[in-house]
Every structure is written in C-alpha cells, then in structure tokens.
Amino acid sequence: MEKIWAPWRMRYIDGSHKDEGCIFCNKPKENNDRENLIVYRGRFSFAMLNLFPYTNGHTMVAPYRHTAIFEELTRDEVIDIHIVTSIIIKAIKMTMNPDGFNLGYNLGRTAGAGIVDHLHFHIVPRWNGDTNFMPVIGEVKVISEHIEQTYDKILKGIEVMG
C-alpha cells in the first residue's frame, strides 16, 4: 500500500489553523504577503491562495472591506474583484496551463462557505484527468505541488504581465 503524506492538512482537520478574527481583514494588514499567500493586491480587493486548496492554484479574491452580503458590495468593489480575478486567471493560464476553471462564491454556510462572515470569490483551476477515485473511495485529495511553488508560479505570471 502506498502512503500519501500531507501533514499540513492536520491544521485544517483539527481546527488549529483558525486565526483570531477574519483572515480576509487581518492578513492584508500584516504586510507579509508571501507568508500570507497574498499574490495580488487591487484597489478594493486582493487575491490569496487557499491554504487548504481543492486543487493547485486555488485562489480566493476578497474585498478589503468586511462584508458577507454580496448585494452590499459597492460598484467599485464588484469591478475590482472581477479585474483581480481576470489577472489571476491570466497568470494561472500562463504558468500552470489548466484546461478550465471553476469560478464562484459560496454565500452562507449552507452554500459551502468555510468563512461565512467575509465573502470571497473562488478561482479553481482544473485539468483534464484531475478527478480520480481518491476523494470518493479514500476520502483523500491529492495536491501535486507544494503551495509555495504554486505561489511563485502565479506571482511570476503576474510579474510577466506587468
């Protein structure tokens, strides 16, 4: 039997990864983008890699302003979130060559939001053949690249775009 080691996942499983307060409010203020996995800062929103991704390159775009209510986003926030999303998609296409993307919001716990108090937009790259039996049979998701390598790739793509 082959063993798959992902000890970093235990922080998610046991809940020890949870910060005091809101990560989407606190992390941008810390001025430590690499450690906080923030790959891009827009005027009204920013993009950060998901520390517990569905797949490599799973990025979240959130407004700086703390809100959980989509219809309360300002026009500037809506526009900026989509501009930042476009930049991230271009960077991922350039550096990771996915075959497609899943994009969207999970608004509310029932809809799957892990962080319900601060809305965020998910960018999930997908590749042909990236689904397999592991999540269904083994309840295991295999992430094939270290998150720091993914961070560097996306950052490089953003830098190339200028």
Binding site for substrate, by residue number, is 50, 112-116, 122
List the binding residues: 50, 112-116, 122
Q: Which of 123, 115, 117 is closest to 61 using CA atoms? A: 123
Q: Which of 58, 56, 65, 59 is closest to 28 using CA atoms? A: 65
**120 in active site:** yes
Q: Is 119 exposed, middle or buried (0-12, 13-18, 19+ CB in 10 A)?
A: buried
Catalytic residue among 17, 58, 66, 120: 120
Q: HSE (CB half, 13 Å, CA atoms) of 156?
A: 11
Which is it for strands 121-126 and 38-41: parallel, antiparallel or unpaired?
unpaired
Beta strands in 76-128 (DSSP E): 100-105, 121-126
Beta bridge partners of 61: 47, 121
Do 102 and 10 touch, CB atoms closer than 8 A? no
Show which residues are catalytic. 120
